[in-house]
Amino acid sequence: MITTNEPPILSLMRRLLDPVVILGSLMLSVGFYDQQFNGLYLILGVVAFLISAQVFDEFDLIGNANLRQARVLSHSRNLLVAWAIVVGVLMFLGYASGLGSAFPPDVMGTWVVVTPVLLFFAHMAARAQLRHLYRKGKTRRAVVVGVGELGQRLARHIEEAPHLMITLEGCFDDRSPERLSLPKGKACLGKMADVAEYVKQHSIDLVYVALPLVNQPRIVNMIEALRDSTASLYFVPDVFIFDLVQARIDDVNGMPVIAIFESPLTGINAVQKRLFDIVVGSFILILISPLLLIVALAVKLTSPGPIIFKQRRYGMDGEQILVYKFRSMTVCEDGAHVAQATKNDQRVTPLGAFLRKTSLDELPQFINVLQGRMSIVGPRPHAVAHNEMYRKLITGYMWRHKVKPGITGWAQVNGYRGETDSLDKMEGRVLYDIDYLKNWSLGLDFAIILRTVKLVLRDGQAY
């Protein structure tokens, strides 16, 4: 996550490194084939720069400067996913505008292959530079006021993130040393009354106040004393007593507020998600259109009833939507009581059993995606009757409706696909759905799609 108090060099790396490398790689590819970088190449370079600036900003491609092998592999995967998204968007724009054929295939092929290699080495160089600056002591000095659970958590976060270029000098607390659980390797530098003098004498750059609001009078006095210093002062609110989902600082017409629970799909994130669904959904629908016709014909010929089963589900913010599926049962239940499909369910037709096993019955939901009712990736929608039942039994159940429901989801690729015949199973599914909300990114959506394809080919939980 990008922080507002990060060093300028890190801010520049996050925002400009990848777009600049991608633009430079295009220029090198064009020059390699003795062509002039002008006209359409210039337009392509500008568009690629703008798209990559947004897409790569969603990935933690700088991250922790202390790389281990496992993190290098994860980092490389994220890089390839981000670049694949950029290439996919550019291909779609080229196809839609009719300009794709104007670019020589050899130049474009070279650019697509060379760019991720250059990006990887650029990231390694950036990390090496950050480690060098950290070892040289080019960091900002910080202290934490308050050594409770909140202060300890903050200290650990600082120590685990050398790329933030912050050196934690120690902590302050009014309690006696024997009552404190100090972060490893850190000392208690004094009491709250000593903070201002210590900050001035030791040229401290950052002061983090991690105290509960019950200490408000002492906090106010300390802040007043710190007015005579140049240190930046941050108050760390104790919001961890809540189960945070997309917590962040926001403002209401200039008045600061703290989001405790919010949808990840606000602002530009919502635009990115919708564009991703339209582009990928359209591509998949075109690809599977012959299969849709074959399945529709098979459903019509093998059992009486409609081809498409429509059922009311909860969409984003709990609004009711109609979700499409190929009919796989002899009934079309959509009332106050809807029984989930079970193993060897007599309501399932022979063809329906195959469709449910292979998830082919879900394919019409790509139409729901283009309609804007659903997303390709998100919490799976449940029948309205099931929602009304489980919202009374599972705390936080309705949180999963802060995003559009999906054809596949984080819970499904982690073992919660098919029947949820016990409360424990539904609670497990909801926990994964909420975890998806906490960690949403386009990269995660792309990874879930790939895992879903693998799962459908070998999973036996759907019936």
3-state secondary structure of 375: strand
- Residue with the bigger pLDDT between 340 and 269: it is 269
Distance CA 158, CA 148 (A): 15
Q: What is the pLDDT of residue 367?
A: 95
The string of pLDDT tens digits covering residues 83-120 is: 998 999 999 898 888 888 889 999 999 999 999 999 99
With a cut of 80, say whether residue 246 has pLDDT above it: no
Half-sphere exposure of 80 (CA within 13 A, CB side): 9
Q: What is the pLDDT of residue 420?
A: 65
Pairing state of beta strands 232-235 and 206-209? parallel
Domain coordinates of the chain in residue numbers?
8-135, 140-238, 268-458
Per-residue tokens: 389? 């039942």
Q: How far apart are the first and last CA of the chain?
A: 40
CA distances (Å), origin 17, targets 49, 365, 442: 10, 38, 19
With a cut of 50, say whether residue 69 has pLDDT above it: no
Half-sphere exposure of 349 (CA within 13 A, CB side): 20
pLDDT bucket at 241, cuts 50 / 70 / 90: low
- Residue with the bigger pLDDT between 439 and 346: it is 439
Q: What is the pLDDT of residue 136?
A: 74
SS3 content of the chain, % helix, strand, coil (to 5): 55, 15, 30
Q: What is the pLDDT of residue 260?
A: 73
Distance CA 25, CA 12 (A): 19
pTM of the model: 0.65
- Residue with the bigger pLDDT between 4 and 176: it is 176
Pairing state of beta strands 308-314 and 320-326? antiparallel
The string of pLDDT tens digits covering residues 134-174 is: 777 678 889 999 888 888 888 888 887 776 778 889 899 88
Length reported for the chain:
463
With a cut of 50, say whether residue 389 has pLDDT above it: yes
Q: What is the pLDDT of residue 463?
A: 43
105-135 vs 69-97: helix crossing angle, rounded to 10? 140
3-state secondary structure of 453: helix
Give domain 140-238's CATH architecture.
3-Layer(aba) Sandwich (3.40)
DSSP string, 295-322: HHHHHHHHSSS-SEEEEEEE-GGG-EEE
